[in-house]
Structures are given as C-alpha cells and as structure tokens.
Amino acid sequence: MPSQTIHEIKVSDEVWIAVALLHRKYPDHEDFSVEEIVDRAREEGITGKQRPGVYVHVLQHCVANRPPNPGRYCMLFETAKGRRRLWRPGDRLDPKRAGAKFIPVREDIPAQYQRLIDWYLSTYAKMTDKNGSSDQILSLRGMGKEIWRGEHPDKYVQKLRAGWE
C-alpha cells in the first residue's frame, strides 16, 4: 500500500525500508533481487516519485560487502546468489565501510516505518542462517550432500580418485 503522505528521506533509508518491508511480507525468502527491491520502493511511494538513485543504492552504495563507490552504507548484504538482504551484525563487510550506517536514524524516517527499526533490532539482527550461523562460509555446511547421499564418504572419494596417477 503506497504511503499516504509524501516524505523527503535519504535514498539509503528508502532502500532499507523497501527491503525491510519485503522481509516482513515474505519471511520465508532469504533474499531479494535488485529489481524486486526497486519495485517495492516504487510501490511504497514514500517520496511520491521514483528516484533514479534507488537502483544504484541497491546495487552498490548500500551493500556492505562490496567496495564503497562512493557510498559507505552497510544496510544491505549481497548473498552468494547476487541478491540482497538486510545486513546483520556478523555479516562480512568491506573494511572501508567499517563503522558506517546500517539502519536509518529513527527520526529521519516517517513514523509509520519506525516500527521496522524495532523489528530489525529485536528480531532480524539476531537471526542466523538455517544452520545456526551468521557466517557466510559456515552457512555452506551440508551443501551438495545429496551428491553422495547413501554412500560412505571414503568410498565416494575413492571413486572420484579412481584413475588418478
């Protein structure tokens, strides 16, 4: 539902709100495409117009684990699938973004979105991946196990190495 009142807010905050709203609407989705986020920002209509800066903020300026160019925000995280989700404490970030803004300043966003900050701090920021880790490498645990399911790991490795010299 589009915002009833037009507000002037930072593009980074508009992007964060759009992603937070997507996470709240689709709690079973791990991440979202750049296009889904841009569409959600447009649909929400916080500023009453589609701002061209939204796309580049979703793509680059707000993404914690990408080199700053020039934006240094740590509001989003690029997943292994090239998609985006909200950044969480413990997620990897580019060292040049250390100490950067990761959520909007409450007073800088419209009142109807301020509850998203509470949700983020109380729930989302404390979430971990399905393996119980917020570490990206550790989250790969178990991936591909269906390849050798039902086969002893040593036998599987021997089969792979057959014919090696």
Closest CA to 75 of 108, 52, 44: 108
- pLDDT, mean of residues 147-164: 82
Q: What is the pTM of this model?
A: 0.75
Which element (helix H / strand E) includes 86?
Answer: strand 84-86
- Which residue type is seen at 104? P
Query: Does residue 4 surpass a pLDDT of 70?
Result: no
Q: CA-to-CA distance for 152 and 118, rounded, in angstroms?
A: 47
| Position 77, amino acid | F
Angle at the Cα of 107 from the Cα atoms of 69 and 58, rounded to 5 degrees: 30
- Element of type H or E holding 8: none
The pLDDT mean for the chain works out to: 87
Peptide bond preceding 89 in cis form (omega within 30 of 0): no
Tens digits of residue pLDDT in 87-141: 998 888 899 998 889 999 999 999 999 999 999 999 999 886 554 445 555 555 6
